[in-house]
């Protein structure tokens, strides 16, 4: 039986495991510790990676070379960096079966109609992860802002999810006004970002609900300050409902995004 989908519970940011003690660390644990260190450093040499993971250099070298053979990391001038196999494996991750497939068509139509960049996002470890995104006709710098694939939780895409999980909030300081903001987000069914995270970048985001009504992800529309976010809310919500309906195995009645008025 498939476990029911649940609202996301932000977790503490991953930290490297403590150095091995008497019995040492398992091979798998050591390999994952090295992968985590490579991710955080982006590119680093053997000495640094071994020290950060608390591994002997000979052990770290052996594990890194095995990871190279598997394509999980690759050698570089600076030592080691993340490999293409990790990228491919990561592209297959999704928090709910069929979420990417259900969102792909509606997201493309929304990007085509509005000309804006559309993102499908989830909340993990106190951060907003961009699961998938579709650039609009005027993406430019907006598209590049998504390349990292990780945003702070307090983007519109993250706030709309955090507001839906009640007291289970990301680690770290919360704005004093957060509870009022969260209530407003729940009432409106949307969150906004008006150049709060990046100059020249605005965003409206809505929750995507799973079969049991819990928010599985957020759908965000990223644009520039020249567009009215309030006028875009309806079409983004319509698209979010279409994705949720596809996950439930039925179509949403009413207009498709292509038929909606977006007031660009």
Residues 76-106 pLDDT 10s: 988 999 998 887 887 777 778 889 999 999 9
pLDDT tens track for 36-54: 999 899 899 999 999 999 9
pLDDT bracket for residue 147 (50, 70, 90): low
pTM for the predicted model, two decimal places: 0.69
pLDDT at position 22 over 50: no
Distances (CA, A) of 200 to 64, 141, 142, 183, 193: 41, 9, 9, 27, 11
Q: What is the mean pLDDT of residues 233-261?
A: 74
**133 vs 23, higher pLDDT:** 133
Contacts for 62 with CB less than 8 Å, ≥ 6 apart: none
């Amino acid at each position: 039986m498939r476990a029911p989908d649940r609202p996301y519970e932000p977790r503490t940011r991953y930290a490297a495991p403590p150095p091995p003690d008497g019995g040492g660390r398992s091979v798998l644990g050591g390999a994952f510790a090295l992968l985590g260190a490579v991710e955080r450093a982006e590119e680093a040499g053997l000495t640094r990676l071994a020290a950060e993971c608390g591994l002997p250099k000979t052990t770290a070298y052996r594990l890194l070379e095995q990871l190279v053979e598997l394509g999980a990391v690759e050698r570089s001038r600076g030592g080691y960096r993340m490999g293409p196999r990790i990228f491919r494996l990561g592209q297959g991750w999704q928090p709910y079966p069929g979420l990417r497939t259900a969102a792909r068509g509606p997201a493309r139509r929304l990007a085509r109609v509005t000309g804006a960049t559309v993102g499908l996002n989830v909340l993990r470890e106190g951060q907003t992860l961009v699961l998938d995104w579709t650039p609009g006709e005027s993406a430019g710098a907006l598209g590049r802002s998504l390349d990292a694939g990780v945003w702070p939780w307090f983007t519109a895409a993250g706030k709309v999810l955090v507001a839906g999980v009640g007291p289970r909030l990301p680690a770290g300081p919360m704005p004093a006004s957060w509870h009022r903001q969260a209530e407003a987000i729940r009432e409106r069914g949307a969150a906004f970002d008006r150049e709060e995270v990046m100059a020249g970048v605005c965003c409206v985001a809505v929750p995507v609900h799973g079969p049991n009504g819990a928010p599985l992800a957020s759908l965000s529309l990223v644009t520039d300050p020249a567009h009215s976010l309030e006028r875009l809310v309806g079409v983004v919500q319509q698209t979010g409902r279409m994705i949720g309906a596809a996950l439930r195995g039925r179509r949403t009645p009413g207009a498709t995004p292509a038929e909606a008025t977006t007031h660009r």
